[in-house]
Structure 1
């Protein structure tokens, strides 16, 4: 009987700890989703970045060469 109770307590504790961890991780994921963040080539941009003329030309050229627009915006903002 003692072993059954101990096992139930351990299982309950593990279950509670697991739920707490998942709940703690969830808000940061929701925050990033709302901000529309993306990372390419170690550069992160959130939302719709404002690009100068040179960066817009870089995006256009990169998209014509087959890169996705989202990736081109991040990379051109960071490196052009």
Structure 2
């Protein structure tokens, strides 16, 4: 069981890295001059591909944490 979860953790971590790298960047060169006001007032809802990537990233992150906690519990017993 431990080995299966360890392999699953490795696979999830690789997929998580790929999805985080695929997310579009939100940085803007002018944001340093505006004090971040654009991030506060110019915030738009993610749609389509970006929304799917955000959901996938959150799901993979949750799965990663759960598997890591289970592995920590199994290794302590």
Determine which structure has the larger helix proportion and give its number: 2
TM-score for the superposition, normalised by structure 1: 0.37
Determine which structure has the larger strand proportion and give its number: 1
TM-score for the superposition, normalised by structure 2: 0.38
User: Greater CA radius of gyration, 1 or 2?
Assistant: 1
